[in-house]
Each structure stands twice: as C-alpha cells, then as structure tokens.
Amino acid sequence: MNETDAPGPAQPEAPAREVVQRGLWFEEFEPGVRYLHRPGRTVTEADNVLFSTLTMNPQALHLDAAWSAEQPFGQRLVNSMFTLATLVGASVSQLTQGTIVANLGFSEVAFPAPLFHGDTLYSETTVAEKRLSASRPGQGIVTLDHVGRNQHGDVVARARRSVLVQCRPEEETGA
C-alpha cells in the first residue's frame, strides 16, 4: 500500500459558498430599522470592579459595598461607562464589524435608571439617519440610537452615536 492508497478521512467537498461575518455596508443601513442584539450580558461584581479600577475610577459608589448600602440606591451601581461600552459593544458584530472606518462621536448620552450587579443588559440599536460623506468618497455617515434595558425592560442607558462606514466594495456590487 502506498501513500495515495492509505485509508483516511474523506476529503470534504468545497462548500457552495462561504459567509464571513461582518457588519453592514453603508447601503445596507435603513433608517427606522431596529436591531436587537442578543444574547444579553449579565453584569457581575467582577466586571464592575475590574472596569472601574482599570479606568482609574475609585468612585465608592462602584467599589464600596458598605458605603453604597447607606446611599439612596442601597447598593453599588455598575459604572455607567461600563454600561455604555457594553451597550455599544453588543452592536458591533451585527452592525459595524469590519465595515466601520471611525467612531465619530456620541451625543445625548443618558442613564435614566441604574444597572446593578446581577442585572442583564439587553442592547438594541435603531438606525436614525444616514448620508454619504461629502469629503470621503466610498464612505458614509450613519447615526445610530443605542438603548440598553435591564431584564425588567427598564431603560438604563441611551446614546446617539455617529459612525463613518465603508460603502459596499465594487467587487460585491458587480460593478
């Protein structure tokens, strides 16, 4: 028996096509469409302590359980910057993975209710508007409204964000 006759696993047939996970091209964003980003993210004490200390935020309201117990909410609050980062991060694979050029900025950021250890953050994004870039051919500006809710449906964060994204490459348009 020679090498070519050796038994072994059958060679798989080439797939009919391959799909690479990516965000949306500029043309695929539709104003008014709402994206629900799943799964949610249950926030732990470790998440909050690590994020707060990594970002040099020694706020007792995030770190000191005894002190926080005497405050109006009666417990530590999840760092709002962690909430915002997680809210936006949850949208990446569905909206901007590999298609974003730059995060242009945030406006209208609000935290109408607290997020606590053990809460689950559910993120959603609505496309507010879009326009082609006047100064950057092949790119467009998309405005996104992000909303974060806890497991009870209470809004715990919201932010409007502008991003610069690539237009669909010519090889994908058939041009």
Measure the CA angle with vertex 115, ends 102 and 66; round to 5°. Answer: 125
Q: Do the Cβ atoms of 92 and 156 come closer than 8 Å? A: no
Break the chain into its structural domains and give their ranges.
23-173
pLDDT, position 14: 79
CATH class of 23-173: alpha beta
Per-residue pLDDT reduced to its tens digit, 13-68: 877 888 788 999 999 999 999 999 999 999 999 999 999 999 999 999 999 999 99
Cis before 39? omega within 30: yes
Read off the pLDDT of each residue in 1-9 and give the average, rounded to a whole number.
59
Residue 3 has pLDDT above 60, yes or no: no
Nearest to 162 by CA among 22, 26, 21: 26
Per-residue pLDDT reduced to its tens digit, 64-96: 999 999 999 999 999 999 999 999 999 999 999
**Burial (CB count within 10 angstroms: exposed 0-12, middle 13-18, buried 19+), residue 115:** buried
pTM of the model: 0.86
In the numeric block, which tokens belong to residue 124?
């959603």
pLDDT, position 21: 81
Mean pLDDT across the chain, nearest whole number?
94
Per-residue pLDDT reduced to its tens digit, 123-156: 999 999 999 999 999 999 999 999 999 999 999 9
For residue 105, give the 3-state DSSP assignment.
strand
Residue 175 has pLDDT above 60, yes or no: no
pLDDT, position 174: 57
pLDDT, position 138: 97
